[in-house]
C-alpha cells in the first residue's frame, strides 16, 4: 500500500463572486492520483459532497445541488499528484471550509482549505419614501455584497443617525441585498449620507443626498390640518351653531302646523 500526505494552502483562498477559483490540494510525495479516490467535501454539512472522483471517473450523483456543473478536477494534473479542484462562477454560498480527502485502499489523509468569497456590491441608491412621523422617510438600498455589509446613515457632519433595522435578502448568487430606512428631520444642512461598509473585505461605498428645505415644511400634516381647521373649521362650527337650532325650531313649527291643519 502506498502512503502519502495530502497538502493544501496554508492561507485561505480568496475568490471573487462570479469568477472561477482553484482550490489547491496535492500529494506528497507527488505520486499519481489517477487510481485513488478523491473527495472534496464541505465541512460542517450533512450531505457534504462537493466533488467525488472514484474508479477513474467523476461520480457526482450525491453532489450538493448548488455545485452542479461547476466543479472539475484537472485530469492531466492527477498523474502529478495534483488533486486541486476548480469551481466555476463562484457564489456567496461557496464561502467556508472545505476538505480534500484522498484514499488509497486502507490509507487516507486529508487537508482543510478555507475559501473566502468576496463581492463588492452596487453604489447605494437612496429614495424618498414620503412623509412619516413629522419627518421625511429615506430608504437606502445596495445589492450584490459578500459577506453581509453594514448600512450606516449619517448627517452632514458624519454623525450616525438613528435608523431602522437593516433588511437583508440574498439573490440567486447568494449575495446580499441590504436596505435600511431612516426618518430625517429638518436641519441646518439637509445633507444625508448612506454608507455601505464591509470591513472584512475592506470595502466601502456611499451615496450622498441633499433634501431641499422646503420639502420639510410639508412634513407636518397635523400643522396643515390645524390650519385647515382654523380657517374652515371655526366658521363651520359657527354656521352649524346657528343653523342647527334654527332647523330644529323650523321642524317643530312644521309639526305643530300639520297637527293644527289635521284637526
Ligand X SMILES: *[C@@H]1O[C@H](CO)[C@@H](O)[C@H](O)[C@H]1NC(C)=O
Q: Report if residue 191 touches ligand X, rule: CB under 6 A.
A: no
Q: Report if residue 128 touches ligand X, rule: CB under 6 A.
A: no
Nearer to ligand X, 22 or 241 (CB): 22
Q: Report if residue 20 touches ligand X, rule: CB under 6 A.
A: no
CB neighbourhood size of 228 (10 A): 10
Q: Cα torsion for 139, 142, 147, 151, to the nearest 10°?
A: -30
When binding is defined by CB under 6 A, the residue of 2, 5, 18, 30 that contacts ligand X is 30
Please count the residues of the chain: 263
When binding is defined by CB under 6 A, the residue of 22, 197, 237, 241 that contacts ligand X is 22
Q: Which of residues 160-189 bind ligand X (CB under 6 A)?
A: none
Long-range contacts of 206-209 (CB under 8 A, 24+ apart): 206/124, 207/123, 207/124, 207/125, 207/126, 207/140, 209/126, 209/138
Q: Are 198 and 144 in contact (CB under 8 A)?
A: no
# chain residues binding ligand X, by CB under 6 A: 9
- The three-state secondary structure class of 20 is coil
Binding letters toward ligand X, positions 65-104, x by CB under 6 A: ---------x--x--x-x-x--------------------
- The three-state secondary structure class of 27 is strand
Nearer to ligand X, 24 or 144 (CB): 24
In the complex, the residues that contact ligand X under the rule CB under 6 A are 22, 24, 26, 30, 74, 77, 80, 82, 84
Amino acid at each position: 500500500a502506498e502512503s502519502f500526505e495530502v497538502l493544501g494552502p496554508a492561507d485561505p483562498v480568496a475568490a471573487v463572486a462570479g469568477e472561477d477559483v482553484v482550490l489547491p490540494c496535492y500529494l506528497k510525495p507527488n505520486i499519481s492520483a489517477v487510481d485513488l479516490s478523491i473527495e472534496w467535501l464541505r465541512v460542517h454539512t450533512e450531505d457534504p459532497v462537493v466533488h467525488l472522483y472514484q474508479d477513474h471517473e467523476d461520480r457526482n450523483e450525491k453532489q450538493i445541488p448548488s455545485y452542479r456543473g461547476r466543479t472539475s478536477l484537472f485530469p492531466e494534473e492527477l498523474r502529478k499528484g495534483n488533486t486541486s479542484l476548480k469551481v466555476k462562477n463562484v457564489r456567496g454560498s461557496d464561502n467556508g471550509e472545505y476538505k480534500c480527502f484522498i484514499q488509497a485502499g486502507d490509507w487516507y489523509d486529508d487537508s482543510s482549505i478555507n475559501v473566502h468569497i468576496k463581492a463588492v456590491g452596487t453604489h447605494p441608491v437612496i429614495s424618498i419614501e414620503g412623509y412619516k412621523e413629522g419627518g421625511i422617510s429615506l430608504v437606502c438600498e445596495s445589492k450584490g455584497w459578500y459577506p453581509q455589509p453594514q448600512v450606516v446613515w449619517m448627517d452632514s457632519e458624519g454623525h450616525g443617525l438613528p435608523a431602522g433595522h437593516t433588511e437583508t435578502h440574498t439573490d440567486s448568487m447568494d449575495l446580499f441585498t441590504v436596505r435600511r430606512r431612516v426618518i430625517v428631520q429638518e436641519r441646518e444642512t439637509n445633507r444625508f449620507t448612506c454608507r455601505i461598509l464591509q470591513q472584512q473585505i475592506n470595502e466601502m461605498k456611499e451615496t450622498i443626498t441633499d433634501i431641499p428645505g422646503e420639502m420639510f415644511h410639508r412634513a407636518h400634516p397635523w400643522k396643515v390640518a390645524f390650519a385647515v381647521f382654523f380657517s374652515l373649521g371655526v366658521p363651520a362650527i359657527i354656521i352649524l351653531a346657528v343653523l342647527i337650532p334654527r332647523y330644529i325650531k323650523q321642524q317643530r313649527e312644521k309639526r305643530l302646523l300639520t297637527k293644527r291643519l289635521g284637526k
